[in-house]
Structure 1
Amino acid sequence: MVKARPAAGGGRWVEISPERIHGWIDGFYGRHDGATEQGLMLTGLSNGDTATLYPPPGLADVPDVDTLLARVVRPPRIAVLLARKGAVAAGVADGTTIAVSKVERFYVQGRTAAGGSSQQRFARRRANQADAATARATNIAVRVLLPYAPGVPADPDDAVSALVCGGDRSMIDAVLADRRLSALAPLRHPHLLDSAEPRLAVLEAAVVDARRIRVHLMP
């Protein structure tokens, strides 16, 4: 599957599943009467169009296109954390298979149109509920993901090589600020996945999205 959207600053982003990336690169060569490669950048011979490939989480050390094509065949084990004020989903995935997961919903009161002291009371209650939801989300992340942090499993092959996050950035930041997750925080991938309110189906879709190779096309 190929997903595309405009890129800030120009060009567009294309997200390509590992199963289709080889054919997509061949198509780039064909559309431009050939191309040159420098690292992970392709440059079309006919008009100078460029395609810069960004490896999926866990493959940050890939130096060139050939290595990328070889390594996406067997994607690394990754951790996935999705969070919004009303729910959290945490899981560990091998390819598109979720090995372990936990999804939980929280109650956080919606905003109120009331004024005066009532509005202040509702705001305090909502803030307290949001803090409690963040604390519960943190405990879930610790329980589900921390056993797979580097250096924790007896077998190093059981450890995750990246942490992919999605949903509410501020809540994710608050969860990962907990010092119990300090072994996982450095593995956080910079790209934040778009995510609906976490459910098991949303977590499964996020695992598929996380495996895609992101390509920045110019122009």
Structure 2
Amino acid sequence: MSTRTVAVPPERLARWCDNFTTRHGPTTLDVVDGRLLLTADDGESASAVLPFGRRYDGAPDPAVVADAAAAPLTWGVLLVRKGGFAVALLDTTDHVVASKVGQRHVQGRTKAGGQSQQRFARRRDNQARQAYEAAADHAARILGEGPHHARHTDQHGGNVASRALVVGGDRQAVDAVLDDRRLATWRDVIVDPWLPVPDPRRSVLDDAIATARSVQITLG
């Protein structure tokens, strides 16, 4: 059976579960392996995973699950590809405190051979390095050091992380930017999901933020 995953904002989760029951009939809700599992009488199922890399161990109630999906005190999104970068800092209400989107030209690959190919490769590597350094400068400025408290108590008394970073784009490019020592405090709080995005633009960043804060539901 094929599966697909949809991103559902926490505030829409209860309605989504109601609609699932309407489409598939009586549905049993359980909490299994840190996620909410819906199993309908017609054989259809759905598995809901909290954002920010969290496990869920509460009651099998969509409203409670939605509450548990609340954002950390401070969180960020960092997207990097050779064609550009995007970074945003958000608060616990998902308000964008600061953001930056930028593009830097990095030449594509060439079919030339010999010394020409080597010169081209060096030029391309230098352009990529400069692009990543620029992205790191902006990321360090936007994200800053983040909050000093690593964890806090949520509204249900749970001990949860105070900050998180969701990343995406090209893995090598993201790693190159996060190698900057100014971003060291954020490397330890990277959480799922990885975001496979195209060259970052403002609309791409907006979509990435929406995905990062959503409950990921796998159907099938």
TM-score range, shorter chain: 0.7 to 0.9
> In the alignment, which residue of structure 1 is the partner of 2:121?
123
Is the CA contact 1:35–1:42 (under 8 Å) kept in the aligned structure 2? no
**Whole-angstrom CA distance in 1 between matches of 2:149 and 2:8:** 32
User: Which string of whole-angstrom CA distances, capped at 9 and with x for unpartnered residues, describes residues 102-155 of structure 1?
Assistant: 222222122223232112111111011112222222222222213325449xxx
TM-score (norm 2): 0.79
> In the alignment, which residue of structure 1 is the partner of 2:193?
191
Map of 1:1-219 to 2, 5 A cutoff?
Answer: 10-39=2-31, 40-57=35-52, 60-64=54-58, 65-66=60-61, 67-72=64-69, 74-76=70-72, 77-94=74-91, 95-151=93-149, 161-218=163-220
Distance 1:176 1:121, change over 3 A: same
**Identity across the alignment (%):** 39
CA RMSD of aligned residues (A): 2.8
TM-score (norm 1): 0.80
Distance 1:149 1:139, change over 3 A: farther
**Whole-angstrom CA distance in 1 between matches of 2:94 and 2:207:** 9
Q: Secondary structure at the match of 2:219?
A: strand
Q: Secondary structure at the match of 1:106?
A: coil
Paired residue total: 205
**Whole-angstrom CA distance in 2 between matches of 1:200 and 1:90:** 10
How far apart are residue 209 of structure 1 and its match? 2.1
Is the CA contact 1:29–1:44 (under 8 Å) kept in the aligned structure 2? no
Gaps of 5+ in 2: 155-160
Q: Secondary structure at the match of 1:174?
A: helix
Is the CA contact 2:51–2:192 (under 8 Å) kept in the aligned structure 1? no
> In the alignment, which residue of structure 2 is the partner of 1:5?
none
Distance 1:42 1:30, change over 3 A: farther
